[in-house]
Structure 1
Amino acid sequence: MSHKISEYFANDPPSFFDELANKPKGKDLPPEGGSSSASNTSTAASMMSNTFTGFFQPPEYVETPEAGEDSVKVSDDVRNLWELPRENEPPGKLIMPGIHLQNDLVDPISVAVTQHLGEAELSYRKILRVDDVTQDERGLRTLIHAGCYRTAVNLTGRLLTIYGQGYGRSGQPAKHSPHSLQLWFTRLALLAKLGEFELLNAEAEPFGQLTSPDVFYDFYPEMYNGKSGSIACFSFRLLLAELPIYLGKPHVALDRLSELHVTTREIKEHYTNLRNNTADEFWQRRCERVLHSIINCGLMMKKFSMIDDIMEGTLLKRSSLSKEDRRSLYSAWGRIYLQIGDIFGAEQKIAVSRRLREINSSPDLRDLVDKGLIAVAKNDFPEAYVIFQKALHLDTGNTMILNNMGVCLLYAGKLKDAINLYERAINLNPQKSLNESLLVNLSTLYELESNNSKAKKYNLLRLINRYKPDLNISIEICLKLQTIN
């Protein structure tokens, strides 16, 4: 499995910086949210909470992630370098993880369809099951690519059982390898995406912050021929540091992320002193990934002065920052000011971003989305709609833009037009447009429209049954349906 699975994190706390990480070449505004797409579960996702109230989801400020490979290629020695447990410290407790579920995760869409529509409708549900793929990494990749995240979690359970780390093995001695730790990282990342936070917390607990000696190659000299460094990938360390965010404890996450940043920066400075420019740049990017997560914590904790300090004093200070990355940062900074409610400050930052665009070039996706969000902040919904419509011409089918257009129509008093927009988007591309935020909004619009909303919601459930392997929030929340006892 790739170490880069930021695309799995649809339930991450809202992030304004993921578009800078793993940027796909040739795309102007890479949709990245790996840490975050517009959150359905966190009130921090609402940048306009004073304007958009109730259960209707606010405009989305973060695009959906699209992962890419590191553009900086380094050796394993550089990639795996990490701070070993110090000799004068007592030996750390060894990591002895285990699966906490005796049975597979159930498919909640199947359960909801059976409850509300009956067994006959369930026959139309065609998704990959664990036994439909090879029982290895290739099968895991196939499931993830198909969006069958719960099935992928179930397959990781089978594969980890082979390593002696299955159900009931928590607290039992275990040996770790790059493959076993990668399986754990993938499993925990998927649990985060699916919102299975209680299970995620229980299964992540034995790993701590990956400081135990048995997650280093040095602990197994006979197995790895003297290889040194961390067996666990950096993204695993970042996930564990961010974990308290999912549990509503951003202050704990901030402490962990700050400690992670200190270590990352020390390794970066080590390569600076060695004048190894490639390794220096590689670790610089890791430092920035941690800072992006720290800023997300800052947003949740309303530490706005800290955010300004990081943006101005660190992220924008790097001399080697490309013009396009600088432009992205100013755009992200402007959107942060919108969340704070400082429209003037947002306009200033976004104006800097706009000036960094290529001379004589037409407004691109980033420009139009920024401009549309400012219009929303000013409650000028008709103007915002026109701007988002132009953006949609540049990226047809972009659900974030479509969702924002629907919000604008609703607040401009055009309820039926908003419904028609969402329904047309779903009919044109059901796989993509059956997006959690869009579904929540459309279900809300149905309730506003008439008392006969249940039948229309059932039609949405039929579409979900046929086109969506998984959702990141429950059907009851997504479609606002009552559970049948």
Structure 2
Amino acid sequence: MENNEHSRKETSDVSSDHTLGRYFENTTPTVFDEIVSSHRVDHSSTSVINDPISNRALDLDLTSKFLKNDHMLEIERPSDLTVPDYHRDAWIPSESTRKILLSIATSPPGTSLPNRENHTMPGLTLQGDILDATKEASIHFYGEEEHMHRNILTASDVTQDERGLRNLIQAECYRAAVNLSGRLLAIYGQGFGKIDHPSKHTPHSLQLWYTRLALLTKLKQIDVLKTEAQAFGNLDKPDMYFSFHPELYGTRHGSMASFSFRLLLAEIPSFCGNPRESLDNLYALLSTVNQILRNLEEGLSEEGGTSNCSAIERQDSMTLWSRRKSKILISIVNCALLGKNFVLAIEVLEDICKCPDWQNEQLEAFKLALARLHLFLGDIPAPEGKLVTKEAPVHTPTTKEWINRGLMAVTQNAFQEAYDCFQTALNADPANVMIVNNMAVCLLYTGKLRAAVQLLENAVTKNPIKNLQESIILNMSTLYELHTTHCRQSKLQLLKQMNRYKGDAIDIQCLKLV
């Protein structure tokens, strides 16, 4: 059954409380980089057991992130906020873009205007709002009376600004947040029908686009995502740089688009079914970041020019860009898995593990990811030493170690033993729904279908706000189909709970009603 992965927060691109991406918080894998989380996540809570009904007893969910984006893998830290803007905004433009920017900088104001093809001209492809699918389904099956129990925010219920957008995201009303982002982008002349129309860009407008595209990715709105992202290319056109707008930013240099936005755009083709293109994009990013690091090592600025910064400031910048390099490598691993290029994924993971800058918890998480990848490929001896700690008899296994023992037992079809391991882990972490999820899989494989259904139902009833997750709903719907020919009523009961307790982010198709 599907992985439960937790978000991590990249703080280096957050210059103030007004940046939007940092307000995402998800219980499933994301592409968001600037994320705020209300609690520290225990890496041990994540499982890799997927839906057994689809002929997969053990899987790495190759449709999403494999490496976890939680605080344990936080690449950039709050201390990076002390790095000045010109280090964090730095980027090396292409030669053609560099020449245009140089021409603007050395010409009288208003006399050096680039051609139309050198402008970035995005716009919305959706004229109206994205509908709340849960609301529409509940009205269809239960009527308007049930809709009265739905109490969630819409784009019109919040302030029409960045604060309102944050409130929608925090309430997991992602469709409403997309709708509001469209209204805000229309203010910049980038609304519906404005693709290929020139408009002004600012760091704020680009952050709005980053947020919107991240939301569309989360919602799997692939057609809209692909079309709207296409206008940005690789963010290299001259108007994506501060020096293109000297009347607004003076002599400020660097990219108006955040590093997180660049990484998201590089990954988007993988979400649209083309992981190979994403790999090409990511390696292009990696090449630029490597050049930035070489420039810093040689005493130059990030772009390769003369630098007057102190040794301490230079070291801080190198640390920042080294962490960004690691983020790209993590994305390469995930895209390689999507493309089933397991050799590349293992090679990059091994290189990541060799980096000397990781904290012990981070390095342990990477090694665990590598071990689970070997496990997925059927190479059981390779990960055994990493997943199961062999200590002295007095050693008391941690929750994570019990989960790992359960995973090892699953690979050997010892489902009762795996169940017992997961049960022990659950006793130590009773709120962890993904451990319950794994236990349900084991019950199914030991022929206890009714018990598997009841286990998941009890978890949802106990805490519907937290435990009504897409992966859980999908698995429950699948188990209902196996359990009874009258499964539709049980699925509709799940719909009623979704209508009353969840925002608009869940994909209604996980109920498998059609």
Q: Residues 336 and 481 (structure 1 numbering): CA distance in 2 closer, same or farther, change over 3 Å?
A: same
Is the contact between residue 276 and residue 339 of structure 2 (CA under 8 Å) also seen in structure 1?
Answer: yes
Matches within 5 A, 1:64-463: 66=70, 70-73=77-80, 74-87=83-96, 93-274=118-299, 276-312=314-350, 314-350=351-387, 354=389, 362-463=396-497
Count of matched residue pairs: 457
The alignment status of 1:54 with 2:92, answered yes or no, reads no
Q: Residues 391 and 402 (structure 1 numbering): CA distance in 2 closer, same or farther, change over 3 Å?
A: same
Q: CA deviation at 1:27?
A: 5.2
One-letter code of the match for 1:430? P
Structure 1 counterpart SS, 2:243: helix
Q: Residues 284 and 2 (structure 1 numbering): CA distance in 2 closer, same or farther, change over 3 Å?
A: farther
Distance 1:430 1:63 in 2: 27
One-letter code of the match for 1:170? I
One-letter code of the match for 2:92? E
For residues 265-302 of structure 1, the C-alpha deviation after alignment (integer angstroms, 9 at most, x for no partner) is: 22233333345222111111111111111111222233
Q: Residues 256 and 225 (structure 1 numbering): CA distance in 2 closer, same or farther, change over 3 Å?
A: same
Distance 1:289 1:320 in 2: 13
* Cα root mean square deviation, aligned: 3.0
Structure 1 counterpart SS, 2:231: helix
Q: Residues 108 and 209 (structure 1 numbering): CA distance in 2 closer, same or farther, change over 3 Å?
A: same
Identity of aligned residues (%): 40
Is the contact between residue 155 and residue 179 of structure 2 (CA under 8 Å) also seen in structure 1?
Answer: yes
Q: CA deviation at 1:319?
A: 2.1
Distance 1:324 1:239 in 2: 26
Distance 1:427 1:65 in 2: 28
For residues 350-397 of structure 1, the C-alpha deviation after alignment (integer angstroms, 9 at most, x for no partner) is: 35xx48x99987433432332222221211111111222222234332
Distance 1:272 1:28 in 2: 36
Is the contact between residue 81 and residue 229 of structure 1 (CA under 8 Å) also seen in structure 2?
Answer: yes
Is the contact between residue 117 and residue 458 of structure 1 (CA under 8 Å) also seen in structure 2?
Answer: no
Distance 1:446 1:470 in 2: 23
Q: Residues 336 and 358 (structure 1 numbering): CA distance in 2 closer, same or farther, change over 3 Å?
A: farther
Q: Residues 458 and 63 (structure 1 numbering): CA distance in 2 closer, same or farther, change over 3 Å?
A: farther
Q: Residues 378 and 253 (structure 1 numbering): CA distance in 2 closer, same or farther, change over 3 Å?
A: same
One-letter code of the match for 1:29? H
Structure 1 counterpart SS, 2:372: helix
Distance 2:45 2:239 in 1: 37
Q: Residues 132 and 2 (structure 1 numbering): CA distance in 2 closer, same or farther, change over 3 Å?
A: closer
One-letter code of the match for 1:288? S
Distance 2:393 2:120 in 1: 55
Which residue number in structure 1 is paired with residue 307 of structure 2?
A: none
Q: CA deviation at 1:346?
A: 2.1
One-letter code of the match for 1:81? A
Distance 1:421 1:326 in 2: 34
Q: CA deviation at 1:223?
A: 0.3
Q: Residues 361 and 236 (structure 1 numbering): CA distance in 2 closer, same or farther, change over 3 Å?
A: farther
Distance 1:343 1:166 in 2: 53
Q: Residues 8 and 131 (structure 1 numbering): CA distance in 2 closer, same or farther, change over 3 Å?
A: same
One-letter code of the match for 1:367? E
Matches within 5 A, 1:461-476: 461-473=495-507, 475=508
Is the contact between residue 80 and residue 230 of structure 1 (CA under 8 Å) also seen in structure 2?
Answer: yes
State the TM-score, normalizing by the size of structure 2.
Answer: 0.81
The alignment status of 1:29 with 2:43, answered yes or no, reads yes
One-letter code of the match for 1:343? I
Distance 1:273 1:209 in 2: 27
One-letter code of the match for 2:370? W
Looking at CA atoms only, which structure, 1 or 2, has the larger radius of gyration? 2
Q: CA deviation at 1:324?
A: 2.1
Q: Residues 455 and 31 (structure 1 numbering): CA distance in 2 closer, same or farther, change over 3 Å?
A: same
One-letter code of the match for 1:294? I
Structure 2 counterpart SS, 1:207: coil
User: Structure 2: which 5+ residue stretches go unaligned?
Assistant: 1-18, 101-113, 300-310
Moved more, 121-130 or 382-391: 382-391
Q: CA deviation at 1:315?
A: 0.9
Q: CA deviation at 1:327?
A: 1.3
Is the contact between residue 20 and residue 208 of structure 2 (CA under 8 Å) also seen in structure 1?
Answer: no
Q: CA deviation at 1:430?
A: 0.2
Is the contact between residue 53 and residue 478 of structure 2 (CA under 8 Å) also seen in structure 1?
Answer: no
For residues 215-271 of structure 1, the C-alpha deviation after alignment (integer angstroms, 9 at most, x for no partner) is: 111111110121110111111111110011111111111111111111112223333
